[in-house]
Structure 1
Amino acid sequence: MPLIVKDYTWTQTESMVYLRVPLKGATAEHVDILSTDEYLKVHFPPFLLEAFLFEAVDEAKSTAKIGNGVAVISLPKKIHRLWDHLVLNDKQTKKEIRERALQAHMEKTADGRKEKAVKKQQEKKYALETMMKLEQEERDLIQKMKDEEREKATAELEGWKKRQIQTAVEKPPINLTNRDKVQTLHQASHGCSVNPGEHISVHLFLIKIVLHPMKRLASGSRKEQLDLPAPRSSGTIQIKFTPRVFPTALRESRVPEEEEWLRKQAEARRAGNTELAAELKDLSDEERNPDWLKDKGDKYFATGNYQGAVNAYNLAIRLNSKIPAFYSNRAACHLKLRNLHKALDDTSKALDLLTPPVADNASARARAHVRRGTAFCELEVYTEGLQDYSAAIKIDPQNKVLQADAHRIRQIIQGCITGPEN
């Protein structure tokens, strides 16, 4: 059974109720507070405070502050008047209030998970739309730069064509020798005599196409310069690609948490206590190896020697206190020996070390939750036991045995069946 907290104090005004609960050395992360409009529970293993309130309070405005070894809980009253007592004493009423509080807490937890999932989906959708918008803007900017470069190149080409036509029109008149050459070429091409004064357009064409190249070849001292367009200016277009984030399995994996878990396990394996090694210098090398001691404890447990297994795990923990399996296995031995409070302490320590929660330690977390839930149920603290069994089912949802055990615990809480006889 848990130890019931009785040394709490409470004060009230017409609108508020204040509770001051001493935590007996427990830290804030180990304090579990559950509050509804008619029920209050403060749990810090192995201590428990359950308050079935005299009248209804405003759950949404209730607050709790933890510090200096105490928890101060403020509960606003729905009806402003002084209470005769803080808690009710009717057993049947307590049972009904506990059931309603448990049901309300489970529904609130489920609603919170749904709301969190919807919010996460909306954030993903907004991020995807924002990235698509940025990519479209980047594509539009690149297309605009391409269009400007195309228009610039087209304008330069048109200007060059105009300059070529103007240069051909402004050529100086040819001399007689050149005209004779043109006439000879024209006669050779048409097979007839041509008057030098006729067909001026044909002459100009032949002068441009044939004579000018012949003049350049014949006279090496004078080289006609072609009117070519100036080289295009060089430049660099900066192209940036927006990284795409798709909700694939790889990006949703827990690689950082897994690496953190492996790092912690490696550090725990490397950890060595030189002072303890000096203290235990009379032991053999095998007896100073925590892994060897764990295997020894496992063998003792398998043969039913639970106290021997506890002794082996004790020494293994003294040598290395960072391995969660040592505490979880020792908790199993304490369950067999009916050391239930020790089992609670060991499973809680194992769960503290099994962080962050990753796939590699999922089975170990499930076992620790089941063992702690079993210890709670043996102590007849079925509400806490159901929470641990629910946590184990969340890790292993296909386990039919766990589901059956959790169903039986719910029936015990609801009063459908009685608990196990001690």
Structure 2
Amino acid sequence: MPLHVTDYRWSQTDSTIHLSVPLKGATVRKVDIVSTEEYLKVHFPPFLFEAFLFEPVDDDRSTARIGNGVAVFTLPKKTCKVWERLMITTDDKETKKEIRERALLKQQQKLSAESKQKGEKQQAEKKYALETMMKLEKEERDIIEKMKEAEREKTTAELAAWQLRQKQKAEEAQQKQNHQIQQAGSTDIPGNRLTDIVKNKQDHRNSKTKKIQPQLPPPRRSGNIAVTFTPRVFPTALRESLVPEEEEWLKKQAEARRAVSAEVEELQDLSEEERNHDWLKQKGDKCFTNGDYVGAVNAYSLGIRLNGKIPALYSNRAACHLKLRNLHKAIEDSSKALDLLTPAVPANSAARVRASIRRGSAFCRLQLYAEGLQDYEAALKIDPHNEALQEDAQIIRDILQGSAG
């Protein structure tokens, strides 16, 4: 049977209820909160706090913060007036049971709606990506068709020009032959005699052509030639000079496939939400806000395994390592985030400032003040009007000048 918490504190204004519940040493992970318009439950075994609220509150704008061994709730009222008390005074168990069941049902419906909305959003994103890809492929096909059409038109024009040249040559040859016949006809040879001479010349050329034409050999017998090829992974021909490089590449690909298959087997046990890097980032941010830095590192690390191209995961994990004093890991994650934040554009300027400050802080804690000053000055180039950055950079300069003196 749970122990009911009675040493809570609350205050109110005309529009808001402020409630503080002591957690009695419970960690953030063990706290279960259910909140609706008329019911609030905070369960951290073996303790339980239940509040059957005096008036309905706006659950959509309600907030809860957990830290320093206490849970603080801000509950906006639906009607602006002063409450006589925090909870209803009835001792009717059936009424309380009905309110409790109604609250749990609303909580389940809310979670189901959020899950459905998230699934619809993911489906819409996939549909948009597919439509964009199909559009790009269609544009690429249109470009290729235009190139083919231009090449066909060019070839047709060249063929027409060649046919025109051949026709002109044939006309010139015919004109030349007619001219020769006209010159021969201007002599005193009778017409029949001239025709016989031309015919004799043509017969002489035809007989000469027949004598020169060689005898063609008989056709060969048909048959099949078997051709075999050496099996090869690469589509290009084998070059002996590249054999070591190809073997090294194949070795790396095999290792990568083994690593991916092992990782896929590990990720099969995860839920659908735990396979979403955006959900993991939000979970890591919440753990960091609640002071659970180890849990935040685990969430960010799983998100990086799912998608290692998101700079915010590395930068946020660097902040967790700073809190845990894993300074070398903080430097490594900050450097990876800065590598992913290239090229430098206005859209990622704030992220580059955060990553530079986190790496600079890690260097300074390792007493590498010169390297830390470089990162702080890089952040100042992006945000030169930041007074806090200017003060920190001046402190590091004073430390370097004092050590040099």
Q: TM-score, normalised by structure 2?
A: 0.43
Question: Which of 1 and 2 has higher RCO (CA within 8 Å, sep 6+)?
Answer: 1
In proportion to residue count, which structure has more helix? 2
Larger Rg: 1
Q: TM-score, normalised by structure 1?
A: 0.42
